Amino acid sequence: MKDRFEYAYIGIDAEGRRYNAAYPPDREKYGDEFGGYPDLARKVLFQDFAVDGFDARFKLKGQRYQILSEPDHAARCDLRFLTEYEVFASPNRLIENMDIEGRRLMDIIDELEDVCTNEDMCVGFYRSELQQLAKTESEKMKGYHFHYVEKDDSGEYYNGKYPPDAEKYGCLFNGYRNESAQVLFEEFAVHGMNVRFEYHGTMYHLLFGWDYASLTDENYCKSYEIFPDPNTLIENLRIDGKLLIDIVDDIDYAESV
C-alpha cells in the first residue's frame, strides 16, 4: 500500500476506519466477510483500490486487466504496473469511467472474474496462471518471442535482422562493431534489458516491455513513445531529428540497466 493524498470521497467512520463515502460499505446488511460489501469485487475496487491504495487485477472473458492506484491519480496499466495506458483523476473516477468493450467498469462489476489486489496472490488469477505461464513469460521478458529473434547452431538467441559478425568485428562486443551496437541490437532487442545512452550530452532511456518497447523517463515508469518491438524502436525513434539506427556509432556511451 502506498502513501496517499486524501481524495475527497474518503471518509472516516465512527471506529476510525477509512472508507469510500461515495460507495460506502453496509456492514449491517452485508456483514464483515467482504468489509461490508456484497462481494469480493466491490470490496477490492471500492475499498482496497479506491481507499487503501492497492493496485488491482481482474479478468473479463479471459482478458486480463491491471489498474494502478497512485496518490494523485489512477490508471489502466500493463501487467507489470509500469506503463500507464489510460489515466484518471482518482480511483473512483477510473471505476466510473474506464471503458471495457464499450461498457463502464462500474456497470460490469458482477461479470468480473478473479478480482484481487496486486499483493493478494489470489489463486484463481495469479498463482495458477503464473505457474502455467512462467516459462513463456520469462522468454517474453527476455525478448525471445519477437519475430526477428533466431537461434544459432549452439542454441544461443541472436538478432536475426541485425546479427553479430564475429569474423568481421571480433568478440570484444559479441560480434558487434562497438558497445552501442551490442547494447541496442543484442542486450535491448534480444535479451530484454532496459537501456540508457548518452547522445550529445543528453541522456535517453529505453524500456523493454512484454509486447512493446518505448522511450521512457529515467525511472523507467512513464512511456513517451511506444513501438511494437525493440528493433522497430531502434529503426524509427528520432533523436534530435535523426533516426536512432543512423546514429548508433555516434552515441557517447550506452549501457543496459
What pLDDT shows up at residue 209? 84
Specify whether the CB–CB gap between 150 and 231 falls below 8 A.
no
Q: How many helices (H) and strands (E) does the chain have?
A: 7, 18
pLDDT digits (tens, 9 = 90+) for 55-68: 998 989 878 898 99
pLDDT band at 48 (very low <50, low <70, confident <90, very high): very high
1 has pLDDT over 70: no
Sign of CA dihedral 217, 210, 229, 59: negative
Residue at 33: amino acid letter? E
Closest alpha carbon to 91 in 2, 1, 3, 9: 9
Burial code (b: 16+ CB inside 10 Å, e: under 16) for 105-139 equals beeebeebebbbbbebebeebeeeeeeeeeeeeee
138 has pLDDT over 70: no
The percent of residues in the chain predicted with pLDDT above 70, rounded, is 88
pLDDT digits (tens, 9 = 90+) for 170-215: 988 999 999 999 999 999 999 999 999 999 999 999 999 878 899 9
Closest alpha carbon to 54 in 68, 43, 65, 66: 68
- The pTM for the full model equals 0.52
What pLDDT shows up at residue 250? 97
